[in-house]
Structure 1
Amino acid sequence: MKLDRVAVIGGGPGGLYAARLLKLSNPHADIAVYEQSSPDTTFGFGVGLASRTQRNLRQADAASLDAIVARAYSHEMSMQVGESIARLAHGDLLAIARTSLLSVLQEQARDAGVRLEFGERREPADLDVDLVIASDGINSATRTADGRFGADIATGSGLYLWCGTDFALPSAIFVPVTTEHGTFVAHAYPYAPDRSTFLIETDVDTWTRAGFDATTAATDPTDTDEASLRYLEKAFADTLHNHGLIGNRTRWMKFRTVQCRNWSLGNVVLLGDAAHTAHYSIGSGTKLAMEDAIALDAALAAAETVGDALAEYERVRRPAVEHLQQIAVRSEQWWESFPQRMDLPVEQLMVAYMTRAGKVGLERFLESAPDVAWKGIASYGQVAADSEAPIDASRWILARPLEHGDRSFCDRFAPPALREDPSTTVVSVDVESAWNEKATAVVDEARASSTIWLTGSDERDHVLTRLDVAERMMCSTSALVVVEIPTECVPDAVAGLVSARTHLVFVGS
């Protein structure tokens, strides 16, 4: 399909990238990006680019990815609890300053022939064009102005803030710190030779005890909560090597997951955070927006009309986004409940982190990081970390004996007779989340039981939720916990065992 005029509302990475791709596909079209801020105005610090994202960007437009990589900073990943550190050698992890990313994408868009108009806001109704791409962010005025997009916004329970520091960490790091008020967890990574991003999370109770409810209320949306930064730089002084924290409109927030019933109306299409968000622990909004742009460009190139293209774009792209959102919600809830896992050995905690959302299986993690993964598995199996790893790790994990109170089991398969034992409470788990009020009631009702047997739907998402509920029960009761699973979910059960999400499993049909 030939496009003559395209307008992009919002000059973030997704909008700029979409404009460039469409200009390359439609060299004679007039394509303009309208950004209400100045070219160098941005909020935030670094943007991470995982290897899969890099591959997708290279296939779509190698030149722009090369320009991004030239300004990016490579790093590895680690997790620290107390003095113990687990390191992953991921040489393909990149991060780039958001200001640098915007500068690169602005240059790439201009080089392709895109017009960039700064300092003004445009409304879709005022634009006489073939296509309007609304990439105007999580607070999208385009989406908000028309209820037909059917936006649904869910707010998480934990709190987080973005800040930075003026040195490059030796690697990306996940590190918890417990203060007199509670536990804070930092996700931090270097993105330049003299800069690192620090994202810090906590729960509502800790946030309130530390007085951050008051500092948040006293901080204007355009300002930084300096009181919180001063507190946190002391709490994370070891990780920061006594450097300070830097703010940029930094204040505590709750993550909002945006979903829309419709991604397009007429010739207006939402892109990136305007259409959907996924928790930052599983993938950045920048990644999603740029991959949206790739899918939109492909749909427009193949269709005969704009309407057909937008329908095809949503048909193709929505399943991938919704799948990622589902995984992201599980990851978000894992991080919100992180403090309950801090008694795990750090390598075992790294296994729990990697398999937390069901996106990465234990076997895949074992292949990519055998040393760290095996140490975590060895901690679970209570054998020496330097012992020889088995050829079939899953079989070995399931064969580990268990001593629980005065009971002994020769392996991790629950005997069928245990279900019928009078001391066993059988619970059919039917909750959307392991952390909502309904799940809390399930946990509370089973608290007095000596054995809890969790059953329910055989759908994988339900099995993963069942394992999460089991983990809550293991952390809050002394009961023996069994999770019933279908045969096809054995890999999830194996990861759950190593991650201390259940004691035993029962494999059904």
Structure 2
Amino acid sequence: MAILAKLRSGGRDEVTVHERNPAGETHGFAVTFGEDLLDEAFRNDPEGGPALRRVARLWNAQQIRVGDHRPVHVGGKYGYSIARVELLDVLARRAEQLGVDVRYGEPTERADVDADVVVAADGVSSRLRTGRADHFGTTVTEGSNRYVWLGADSDSDTFVWDFQRTDAGWVWIHLYPSSNGLSTCIVECEPDTWTGLGLDALPAREGIRMIQSLFSRTLGENRLIEPLGGIAENPWLRFREVRNRTWRDGDLVLAGDAAHTTHFGIGSGTVLAMQDSMGLADALYGGPGDPREPAGPNRADGRGAALAAYDARRRAVVTPVQDAARRNMHFFEQAGRQLDRVEDPVEFAWSLTDRRGDMGRIHYQLHKATQIGPLRQVRRGLTTARRVRRAALREGGRAQRDTD
């Protein structure tokens, strides 16, 4: 939002970012995103969008592995990954280039801030939101499964789900590449499996060694890496779904995980946060190149209506995504029962692919065809052609703007 406020105001608005972490510090490994976010990044910031694409890494293959069965291939899937630390660096450099005052290691309370608009993007446990939870109508619902967010020194271009059975039940990892030679590795299991394996009582590093051995087929010689910032005494978490009845309290608005969370199985958290910023900028200033006079945060007469419009529009967009993410969470909370009955891993892989319930019969037929090597290569070629065409249109739009 800081970048967009500077761009849309022509540099006139004073923008300050209070970042609680020191410069260059983050607590996660990678962010994944798709073409839609790239299109929006190029449209909103013709210089910053290309910088994001240059740093990001393309992944263009996805596999689902179930026990000792042969891997199942998921066709037509590709995306982009970027290390969180590199994403923060790209955004911070662009913000500072535009004149944003970025203050690191400086958490803040609402009373500390004298501003026309305050954007609370301070995460799931938002301090700025918590004090007014009744006003925002905040609800926090915990999932039942346990998970831990790790890294791996794997440099594969393949996005992998691997489900392994143990004497205590099923455990699975969600492994996807990044832009800096590391991969994100999310480990998840049902609560009875977690306790049955003794992961609730084992020292954290012993638990990680157990996971390393369970998934040696996929990890190979690649080493699991502890969470950035150090490993907690008990690093195993339960997902928290945050919802709010409203995202606005006067001149304070919520964005990102402070406003909403989505289960990590759909990987939309950072993307939604960036889209929140774009939606707020549109509400306050109008869209990129919009000829009408912007409301702007300094225009008190239009500010209230703009913030109300942001609140209503973005909640309407995000609510269905959260509903889909909840279905995704429930799929994994019941995965053990389905895995116990697996005879055909291709069918299980389809149920995993369609876990949000938004795919049709034609997609199922394509999924079956993708398991045949030559057809898989044809489909990959078509996907590549579609990707190249979209990139050309995106770059072409940028070139057109540069000549206008």
Query: TM-score range, shorter-chain basis?
Result: 0.7 to 0.9
Name the SS of the counterpart of 2:111 in structure 1: helix
Structure-1 residue corresponding to 2:281:
297
Q: Is the 8 A contact 2:257 2:273 kept in 1?
A: yes
Q: Is the 8 A contact 2:137 2:246 kept in 1?
A: yes
Q: How does 1:126-145 map to 2 (within 5 A)?
A: 126-145=112-131
Higher-Rg structure is 1
Q: Is the 8 A contact 1:347 1:375 kept in 2?
A: no
Measure how far apart 1:192 and its partner are: 3.1
Name the SS of the counterpart of 2:71 in structure 1: strand
Deviations 1:134-189 (A, max 9, x none): 10011100011113122100000111111011121340001101122221111101
**Partners in 1 of 2:199 and 2:2 — Cα distance?**
41
Q: Is the 8 A contact 1:37 1:120 kept in 2?
A: yes
Name the SS of the counterpart of 2:80 in structure 1: strand
Structure-2 residue corresponding to 1:281:
265
Change (3 A) 1:52 1:86: farther
Amino acid at match of 2:44: A
Deviations 1:259-313 (A, max 9, x none): 0112011100011000110111123310110010111000111445221111100
Structure-2 residue corresponding to 1:111:
97
The reply on whether 1:314 has 2:311 as its aligned counterpart is yes
Structure-1 residue corresponding to 2:213:
234
Structure-1 residue corresponding to 2:7:
24
Structure-2 residue corresponding to 1:338:
335
Change (3 A) 1:19 1:362: farther
**Partners in 2 of 1:345 and 1:39 — Cα distance?**
49
The reply on whether 1:47 has 2:31 as its aligned counterpart is yes
Structure-1 residue corresponding to 2:81:
95
Higher relative contact order (CA 8 A, sep 6+): 2
Name the SS of the counterpart of 2:18 in structure 1: strand
**Partners in 2 of 1:78 and 1:156 — Cα distance?**
26
Q: Is the 8 A contact 1:348 1:375 kept in 2?
A: no
Change (3 A) 1:355 1:264: same
Q: Is the 8 A contact 1:351 1:362 kept in 2?
A: no
Q: Is the 8 A contact 2:155 2:182 kept in 1?
A: yes
Please identify which structure carries the higher strand content: 1
Quote the RMSD (CA, aligned, Å).
2.0
Q: Is the 8 A contact 2:69 2:345 kept in 1?
A: no
**Partners in 2 of 1:22 and 1:364 — Cα distance?**
41
**Partners in 2 of 1:198 and 1:63 — Cα distance?**
32
Q: How does 1:174-193 map to 2 (within 5 A)?
A: 174-192=161-179
**Partners in 2 of 1:84 and 1:56 — Cα distance?**
38
Deviations 1:373-429 (A, max 9, x none): 3468xxxxxxxx79x9xxxxxxxxxxxxxxxxxxxxxxxxxxxxxxxxxxxxxxxxx
Change (3 A) 1:193 1:121: closer
Unmatched runs of 5 consecutive residues or more in structure 2? 287-294, 296-300, 376-404
Change (3 A) 1:333 1:344: farther
Q: Is the 8 A contact 1:258 1:273 kept in 2?
A: yes
Q: Is the 8 A contact 2:74 2:370 kept in 1?
A: no
Change (3 A) 1:73 1:91: farther
Which shifted more, 140-149 or 87-96? 87-96
Q: How does 1:176-215 map to 2 (within 5 A)?
A: 176-192=163-179, 194-215=181-202
**Partners in 2 of 1:126 and 1:274 — Cα distance?**
18
Structure-1 residue corresponding to 2:380:
none
**Partners in 1 of 2:370 and 2:2 — Cα distance?**
47
Measure how far apart 1:95 and its partner are: 0.6
Q: Is the 8 A contact 2:75 2:370 kept in 1?
A: no
Q: Is the 8 A contact 1:131 1:267 kept in 2?
A: yes
**Partners in 2 of 1:290 and 1:373 — Cα distance?**
35
Structure-1 residue corresponding to 2:395:
none
Structure-2 residue corresponding to 1:257:
241
**Partners in 1 of 2:360 and 2:97 — Cα distance?**
42
Name the SS of the counterpart of 2:95 in structure 1: helix
Q: How does 1:214-225 map to 2 (within 5 A)?
A: 214-215=201-202, 225=204
Amino acid at match of 1:329: R
Measure how far apart 1:89 and its partner are: 4.5
Among 139, 153, 164, the residue aligned to 1:152: 139
Name the SS of the counterpart of 2:31 in structure 1: strand
Change (3 A) 1:322 1:260: same
Structure-2 residue corresponding to 1:373:
368
Measure how far apart 1:228 and its partner are: 1.4
Structure-1 residue corresponding to 2:386:
none
Q: How does 1:363-402 map to 2 (within 5 A)?
A: 363-364=362-363, 366=365, 370=366, 372-374=367-369
**Partners in 2 of 1:308 and 1:344 — Cα distance?**
56
Aligned residues: 350
Amino acid at match of 2:102: L
Q: Is the 8 A contact 2:58 2:157 kept in 1?
A: no
Report the identity percentage: 32
**Partners in 1 of 2:117 and 2:142 — Cα distance?**
31
The reply on whether 1:172 has 2:159 as its aligned counterpart is yes
The reply on whether 1:79 has 2:78 as its aligned counterpart is no
**Partners in 1 of 2:29 and 2:174 — Cα distance?**
13
Q: Is the 8 A contact 1:49 1:287 kept in 2?
A: yes
Structure-2 residue corresponding to 1:37:
21
Q: Is the 8 A contact 1:42 1:99 kept in 2?
A: yes
Structure-2 residue corresponding to 1:360:
359
The reply on whether 1:163 has 2:160 as its aligned counterpart is no
TM-score where L is the length of structure 2: 0.82
Measure how far apart 1:344 and its partner are: 4.3
